[in-house]
Amino acid sequence: MIEVKCPLCEADVEVPDVDGHYECPECKDVFEYEGLKPKSTRPLTNFIILFFVIWGSAMILGLLGFGEWGGTGGT
């Protein structure tokens, strides 16, 4: 069981920790309980992914750049 606030009258209502519709004992109205939502992806993870994407792109551009430089030194 978990305690939630009724969105209609803000009374504390105990519901099973399962998604569904429950009747509020205070206002006798039915409200929807969506359960515990999983935490959204951390910003840090997105930052690390972005870092590797930029780093990988820079490496590829750098390798292409070195390839061009190597071809211009001949006699």
Task: Specify the residue, 7 or 62, whose C-beta has the smaller distance to Zn ion.
Answer: 7
Task: Specify the residue, 28 or 37, whose C-beta has the smaller distance to Zn ion.
Answer: 28
| Contacting Zn ion within 23-62 (CB under 5 A) | 24, 26-27
Q: Which of 2, 8, 48, 54 binds Zn ion (CB under 5 A)?
A: 8
The CA-CA-CA angle for residues 30, 34, 38, to 5°, reads 170
CB neighbours of residue 31 within 10 Å: 17
Contact 24, 3 (CB under 8 A): no
Task: Specify the residue, 26 or 66, whose C-beta has the smaller distance to Zn ion.
Answer: 26
3-state secondary structure of 63: helix
Return residues touching Zn ion (CB under 5 A): 6, 8-9, 11, 24, 26-27
